[in-house]
Every structure is written in structure tokens, then in C-alpha cells.
Amino acid sequence: MVALATAEACDTNAALLASGDLRVLQPTFQIYGQCRAFSGSIVTLKVFEDNVLVRELLEIRGEGRVLVIDGGGSMRCALVGGNLGQLAQNMGWVGIVLNGCIRDVDEINACDIGVRALASNPLKSNKKGIGEKHVPVYIAGTWIRDGEWLYADSDGILVSKSELSI
């Protein structure tokens, strides 16, 4: 997959930015994983300090999609660790964007996916299975919806209502 440079996408899509069809996430994320740049159709998930539904979604074939998780910005525990990073890679997900924490940083950094998260925390999450799949989530200053497109690289993260051409 050819990566779309986010800076170039912003420069060449002023009308989409003005209309809100292309949005820039606030720069609050740390970069993890082997893939510094990734893009794909979005699958959304809203959870809080509970990663059962994260695993459920990652066990489904990713088919080049990006899992966007609204973890409520919690810094008290991790929602994704090395096992889930490896599962995401094995199941064909290209990336995970997490409004929350990861753990097992070295393991995630060895995975051939892109991961963006707020920070790392060694404490694991609860296992109650509470949350919502495929719902609009508000992360880093913008609404993100299931089926939209996400583009991430070292400069930042963009969300588009439709796939951008390279």
C-alpha cells in the first residue's frame, strides 16, 4: 500500500478541510509499532478500562482496516498489550489508534502494524465486556465514525469521510 503523506494531503485538500470532510486529530498521540505510516477504513469502539471488546474486534479479519478505540483518555490502565498487537498483525489490521494506554511497548514496537496511543501503562485492564462497537467516537478534537478513512504518519493523523486519492 502506498502511504499518503498527511502534510501533502492537507496542502492539496483545502476544500475538504474547510468543509469538515477531512479532519486533523490534535497531536496527542505517541507513535508505536513498525509501521510509521498507515491508512485504512475505520472500525470504531468505545470502552473504558475494559479490553474484552478490543480482543473481540481484533479476532475478526482486519482486511487492511484501522481500529479506532475511544478508551475515554484513561491513563490508569492499558487497553492494548503485546498479545493484542500480535493478534492485530496476524489478523490483517494495519493499525490501531487508541485514546488511552498500551503496555508491552517493546512487543508492540516489534509488530508490523501502526499504533498510536496516549502513553504506556503496565497495568492491565478490566475484563467485563462493557462497551459499544461501531459507534461514533470523539477523540482528539473530532468525531470519528465507522467506515470513514484514517491516514497516519510521523506528521499526524487525518480522518476523511471518504477514501482520499494519492
84 is in an annotated binding site: yes
100 is in an annotated binding site: no
50 is in an annotated binding site: no
Kindly report the number of other CB atoms within 10 A of residue 150's CB atom: 25
104 is in an annotated binding site: yes
Q: Measuring CA to CA, which residue among 163, 11, 27, 3 is closest to residue 95?
A: 3
87 is in an annotated binding site: no
φ, ψ (nearest 5 deg) of residue 143: -80, 140
Name the binding residues for Mg(2+): 104
Name the binding residues for substrate: 81-84, 103
Name the binding residues: 81-84, 103-104
